[in-house]
Amino acid sequence: MAIPHEMLPPAFISRIGELMSTQPSDVATPVVSDFYDRFPYPADPLQDGPPPGYNWRWCHDSVLAVVRGGVGTQDLDQPPLRILDAGCGTGVSTDYLCHLNPGAEVLAVDISAGALDVAIERLRRSGGADQVRSLRQEQRSLLDLQEENCFNYINSVGVLHHLRDPLAGLKALGKLLAPRGLLHLFLYAEAGRWEIHRTQKALELLEAGTGSEGLKLGRALFSELPEMNRLRRSHEQRWTLDTQADANFADMYLHPQETSYDLESLMTLIHSSGLHFAGFSNPSVWNPARLLKGELLLRAKALTPSAQWALVEQLDPEISHFEFFLSAEPIRPFCWDDDERLLGASARRQPCLWGWPSTSLLGPDLEPQVLTEEAFELLSLVENNPGVKLGSLHSAENTASIARDLLQRKLLLLEGSGGDEC
């Protein structure tokens, strides 16, 4: 008979996978897990108490507000929310996932015992487990989770590109997604890593290795190359801060197993997995208005979304990663054009706000947001009266337009009846 995880001591829980899986499903697994045992990533310091600020990509409500513009009542009928952090590393993302999704059931897995040890300690000190219904942190491959029940949200940041066969990993995660679930991925982009790849190749030719010797030689390389050398300049201008910690430097320049994508090969990967693209999680990067104006922008805006992204990829060769959502089923965003429908919905406040309650605050992307007194009043009423329909909460004539403005700014999340029909 299986022992429920909640009844096991944490140290035992973390080692379950070690005992269960003797044969890794990916031939690269031992090389990669050894590497992260040496260099647990990310190197963010441990601290007591909740992690600083927020990252809306790790808050399920905020993700729904961005991807679907609302949450379906059928989702509300099926608590608790189940979240998987696949390739959790030292637990920074798991920590936010616990603090930003109170009451959820969270499973965090990683193949590296060294990384997982740090993750367990991080969550112990931050009190992450107290926020959720259950937290399991296990040494397992994301390829070996077939017996798990499906998840509403899967986060896998910076992981699949370290598998020998990233498509196999993506398909494995896809099988774990609930029918209306979402997957958040981060994968390397070829163009913006051009100098990194050259440096990796040079260190390989110098037989620097993937341990402390490689670290020493890699750091020496950047101080000895001529000051105007392009690899050195790129490192100093873009990556010095990120790679101050040895583990982060090693992750960037010494990795034994990685793949990068361009937009075309990324879309082929997604298509081959049978999953559906549900939008970038850094959409402003893919907006041509960031780079063009006047007639050029008008021409760009006339293109299809995918042609606009291709254009941005050509115009900005510094993009070094893709971050995006995938879904098991095609996304049909909520449509709140109809006043009656909108006023008949209950609502939630965007959880990722800095400075709330106030009329002057920072939004999910830490962008300044100013609220009118009316908008502030509506958001406060929503927060203090969970489950109450907007129309009954606020009697002003312009409630619908205030709510639409908040919705458009991702400050409000509506709970729609009847699914995500548009």
Ligand X SMILES: C[S@@+](CC[C@H](N)C(=O)[O-])C[C@H]1O[C@@H](n2cnc3c(N)ncnc32)[C@H](O)[C@@H]1O
| Residue nearer to ligand X on the CB measure, 108 or 371 | 108
DSSP type of residue 7: G
| Residue nearer to ligand X on the CB measure, 197 or 409 | 197
| Residue nearer to ligand X on the CB measure, 26 or 415 | 26
Closest CB 92 distance from ligand X, rounded Å: 5
- Side-chain half-sphere of 240: how many Cα atoms within 13 Å? 7
| Residue nearer to ligand X on the CB measure, 41 or 253 | 41
Closest CB 44 distance from ligand X, rounded Å: 8
Which residue number has the CB closest to ligand X? 89
Q: Is the peptide bond before 357 cis (omega within 30 degrees of 0)?
A: yes
Which token pair is 346?
């209950």
Which amino acid, one-letter code, is at 150?
C
Closest CB 239 distance from ligand X, rounded Å: 15
Give the number of other CB atoms < 10 A from CB of residue 59: 21
Return phi, psi of residue 354, to 5°: -110, 120
Q: Between helices 212-224 and 246-253, what is the axis angle to 10°? A: 80
| Residue nearer to ligand X on the CB measure, 109 or 390 | 109
Residue 108's contacts (CB-CB under 8 Å, 6 or more residues apart) are 84, 85, 88, 91, 94, 97, 119, 135, 136, 137, 138
| Residue nearer to ligand X on the CB measure, 33 or 200 | 33
| Residue nearer to ligand X on the CB measure, 246 or 339 | 246
Helices (H), 41-182: 60-67, 73-76, 92-100, 113-126, 128-131, 166-175
Q: Distance between CA 41 and CA 93 in Å, rounded?
A: 11
Closest CB 249 distance from ligand X, rounded Å: 13
**In 3D, which of 309, 256, 250, 260 has the Cα closest to residue 285?**
309
Closest CB 145 distance from ligand X, rounded Å: 9
Instruction: Catalog residues that contact ligand X under the rule CB under 6 A.
Output: 26, 29, 32-33, 36, 41-42, 87-89, 92-93, 109-112, 115, 141-143, 157-159, 162-163, 251
| Residue nearer to ligand X on the CB measure, 157 or 393 | 157
Closest CB 161 distance from ligand X, rounded Å: 9
C-alpha distance from residue 339 to each of 37, 99, 335, 336 (Å)? 55, 34, 11, 7
Q: Percentages helix, strand, coil for the chain, rounded to the nearest 5?
A: 45, 15, 35
Closest CB 24 distance from ligand X, rounded Å: 8
Q: Distance between CA 372 and CA 88 in Å, rounded?
A: 40
H or E element that contains 134:
strand 134-139
Closest CB 218 distance from ligand X, rounded Å: 17
